Amino acid sequence: MPVGGYAAPAGSYQAPEQVERRSSLLGILALVLAIVAAVVTPIIAGITGFEIGRRIPAGFDTTSPEFLTLLSPARDQVLWAEVSFWTGTILGIAAIVIGIIAIRRKKGRGAGIAALVVAVLGPIVFWVVLFVSLSLGMASTLAP
Per residue in 36-64, pLDDT (tens digit) is 999 999 999 999 999 998 888 666 667 77
| pTM for this entry | 0.77
Per residue in 61-110, pLDDT (tens digit) is 677 777 777 778 888 999 999 999 999 999 999 999 999 999 999 899 99
- Distances 89 to 50, 66, 123, 139 between C-alpha atoms, Å: 21, 28, 8, 29
Per residue in 6-28, pLDDT (tens digit) is 666 666 666 677 777 778 899 99
Domain boundaries along the sequence of the chain: 24-58+70-142
Which residues of the chain form beta strands (DSSP E)?
none
- Distances 72 to 48, 49, 59 between C-alpha atoms, Å: 14, 14, 16
